[in-house]
Structure 1
Amino acid sequence: MATLRFLCFLSVLVLSGASPLVLTVVNNCPFTVWPAIQPNSGHDVLERGGFALETLQHRTFHVPDRHWSGRIWGRTGCHYSRGGFFCATGDCGGRIECGGAGGAVPATLAQFSLHHPNTDLSSYSVSLVDGFNLPMTVTPHEGKGACPVVGCRVNLLETCPPALRVAHGGKVVGCKSGCEAFGTDELCCRGHFNSPATCKASTYSEFFKHSCPATFTYAHDSPSLTHQCASPVELKVIFCH
Structure 2
Amino acid sequence: MTRRWTVAALLAVAMAVTGAGFSAAAAAINHTVTFVNQTGQTVWIGSTVNADRSVNFAGLPTLANGQSATITIPETTDPGHWRGKFFARQGCSGNSGSSFHCQVADCGPYADRCSLGEQPASLAEFNFDSSDGLAPWYDVSYVNAFSVPITIEPVNATTSCGTAGCPENLLPYCPSAYLQHWPDGRPMNCVNPNRDAQTDYSDAIKSHCPKAYAWSKQDQEPGNQVVYQCNSCNGFRITFHQV
Report the TM-score, using the length of structure 1 for normalisation. 0.80
Contact 2:136–2:230 (8 Å) recurs in 1: no
Contact 1:85–1:95 (8 Å) recurs in 2: yes
3-state secondary structure, aligned to 2:207:
helix
**Partner residue in 2 for 1:24:** 34
Q: CA RMSD in A?
A: 2.5
Asked if 1:102 corresponds to 2:117, the answer is yes
Taking the aligned partners of 2:99 and 2:108, their CA distance within structure 1 comes to 9
**Partner residue in 1 for 2:175:** 161
Worse-superposed segment, 202-211 or 223-232: 223-232
Shift in Å, 1:116: 4.8
Go from structure 1 to structure 2 and tell me whether the alpha carbon gap of 1:81 and 1:212 turns closer, same or farther (over 3 Å shift). same
Go from structure 1 to structure 2 and tell me whether the alpha carbon gap of 1:60 and 1:164 turns closer, same or farther (over 3 Å shift). same
Greater relative contact order (CA < 8 Å, ≥ 6 in sequence) = 1
Taking the aligned partners of 1:88 and 1:78, their CA distance within structure 2 comes to 6
Go from structure 1 to structure 2 and tell me whether the alpha carbon gap of 1:211 and 1:161 turns closer, same or farther (over 3 Å shift). same
Unaligned runs of 5+ residues in structure 1 are 180-187, 190-198
Asked if 1:174 corresponds to 2:189, the answer is yes
Contact 1:17–1:232 (8 Å) recurs in 2: no
Contact 1:39–1:100 (8 Å) recurs in 2: no
Asked if 1:207 corresponds to 2:207, the answer is no
**Partner residue in 2 for 1:126:** 140
**Partner residue in 1 for 2:90:** 76
Contact 2:139–2:164 (8 Å) recurs in 1: yes
Go from structure 1 to structure 2 and tell me whether the alpha carbon gap of 1:120 and 1:212 turns closer, same or farther (over 3 Å shift). closer
Asked if 1:39 corresponds to 2:22, the answer is no
Residue 55 of structure 2 aligns with an amino acid whose one-letter code is: D
Percent pairwise identity: 27
Residue from 28, 48, 52 that aligns with 2:62: 52
**Partner residue in 2 for 1:7:** 4
**Partner residue in 1 for 2:161:** 147
Residue from 86, 89, 102 that aligns with 1:87: 102
**Partner residue in 1 for 2:21:** none
Go from structure 1 to structure 2 and tell me whether the alpha carbon gap of 1:159 and 1:232 turns closer, same or farther (over 3 Å shift). same
Deviations 1:77-101 (A, max 9, x none): 1111794111110011232133453
Unaligned runs of 5+ residues in structure 2 are 18-24
3-state secondary structure, aligned to 1:111:
strand
**Partner residue in 2 for 1:239:** 240
Shift in Å, 1:19: 5.2
Shift in Å, 1:229: 3.6
Go from structure 1 to structure 2 and tell me whether the alpha carbon gap of 1:58 and 1:227 turns closer, same or farther (over 3 Å shift). closer
Deviations 1:89-143 (A, max 9, x none): 00112321334532111x0011100125353621000111001001111110111
Deviations 1:153-186 (A, max 9, x none): 111122322111011212211011132xxxxxxx
Report the TM-score, using the length of structure 2 for normalisation. 0.80
Go from structure 1 to structure 2 and tell me whether the alpha carbon gap of 1:157 and 1:236 turns closer, same or farther (over 3 Å shift). same
Shift in Å, 1:231: 1.8
Taking the aligned partners of 1:101 and 1:133, their CA distance within structure 2 comes to 19
**Partner residue in 2 for 1:219:** 216
Contact 1:36–1:73 (8 Å) recurs in 2: yes
Shift in Å, 1:47: 3.5
